[in-house]
Amino acid sequence: MMDDAKRLPSMNAPPPPPSVWPEALNALGWRGASDDAAVAALRASLAAENGMRDLETVDPTQVERAAELFRREGFVVVRDVLDAAQLELLRAGCAREMKRIVDAFGAGGNRGSHRFSFGGAHRSGSCGHCPEWTQLVELATVQPVLAAIFDSDEYRACSMGGDFCLPGAASYQPLHADTGGELCFEGEDVDARDAPVALVTVNFLPQDFTRTNGPLRQIPATSTTRDPIPSLADEPDAWKRSTLLPCRAGWAVVRDLRAWHGGTPNLSQGTRAVPNVEYCAPWLEPGFRASVPRELYETLPPRAQFRCARIVGDVDARLVDELRTPYIFGRRAPPPAPPRARRGFVARVLGCARRDAARTHKTV
């Protein structure tokens, strides 16, 4: 923060675009502090120089290049994956869910102050009951990239949700990986970093990332590293600016869940969302949980049904109507469910990665 305060804002920083979200939603953010001197200095510094150097983005047709970048960096940004109608529907669904979730949890969030998980807010752990999310499962613009990454077209959807932050999420979220530990590959229990990629998330952008609205930060080439993840205090300043810019509404970020990433301050006046679909390799048995109701599944095209075949089922209405998070980032979470032997690689390793991250997290 001290270093930030010393930097001078650039006169060339472009003005932020107007928010795509209803004002009533944006207004749920900021509780004081918006004009605080330290916040103003950080905002000016981010406006001047936030963003990864030379981020290469790809067109949906550049499938091999996309897979190459994904393997090298642990992520790849794909441009123009959503058309106007898909984007409009996604925005409507996100706006509805964000309002519900903030009403339920308050600005204290469920992933740190002003930060929220879409899927994690539901007892089902997923937004699989929302057509705005299931429309994303099988897109002609994304499927070839995922097939190249998994080296197979038999990969499955295992969950859907993503994250959002309100304006006023003034702190950096500590770097973390969303998965880790061991998994079963070709009959052997191996460290997830020694296996081919098992879990991939695709985050879809309903709005642009801007320098000040909390763009995702991603540390390149960290999917298989043995290095410990640095705490916020030890993290180099350059990494805090290693954010995915440019990244526009309708684009997608395809991420290896092992790669290090974290939220950054949203010091704008607009909410920022990154809804997602999570996929697993054909060989992984992650302890699938039913989250796509049968009636919705029946409306999906055949290939989207194939992707969702492991997560379709009878979804108890209470699991989607009642909002209650299974984990709270950086705060005491409700007691975990009793472990079930070898069930749920996703649940087991997600729980472990999130607990590790929570140890270093400080809420504002």
Ligand X SMILES: O=C(O)CCC(=O)C(=O)O
Query: What is the CA 261 to chain-centroid distance, rounded?
Result: 9
- Residue pair 114/168 in contact by the 8 Å Cβ criterion: yes
What is the end-to-end Cα distance of the chain in Å, rounded?
A: 14
Q: How far apart are CA 238 and CA 346, in angstroms?
A: 31
Q: Which stretch binds ligand X (CB under 6 A): 20-28, 31-39, 134-142, 256-264?
A: 256-264
Q: Kindly state whether residue 255 participates in binding ligand X, applying the rule CB under 6 A.
A: no
Q: How far is the CB of 309 from ligand X (least distance, A)?
A: 27
Nearer residue to ligand X within complex by CB, 312 or 353:
353
Interface with ligand X, residue 274, by CB under 6 A? yes
DSSP per-residue string spanning 127-170 = -TT-HHHHTTSS-TTTHHHHHHHHTSS--EEEEEEEEEE-TTB-
User: Binding string, 318-347, against ligand X, x = CB under 6 A?
Assistant: -----------x------------------
Give the Cα separation of 332 and 167 in Å (integer): 24
Q: Contact letters (x/-) for ligand X, 102-141, by CB under 6 A?
A: ---------x---x--------------------------
Q: How far is the CB of 163 from ligand X (least distance, A)?
A: 4
Measured from the CB atom, the residue of 93 and 263 that comes closer to ligand X is 263
In angstroms, rounded to a whole number, what is the distance separating the alpha carbons of residues 143 and 161?
18
In the shown chain, the binding pattern of residues 165 to 184 toward ligand X, with x for contact by CB under 6 A and - for none, equals: x-------x-----------
- Label residue 344 left, alpha or beta by phi (over 0 means left) and psi (-120 to 50 means alpha): left
Binding segment toward ligand X, per CB under 6 A, in 88-96, 261-269, 287-295, 334-342: 261-269
Taking the C-alpha atoms of residue 188 and residue 330, their distance in angstroms, rounded to an integer, is 33
Residues that bind ligand X (CB under 6 A): 111, 115, 163, 165, 173, 214, 216, 261-263, 274, 329
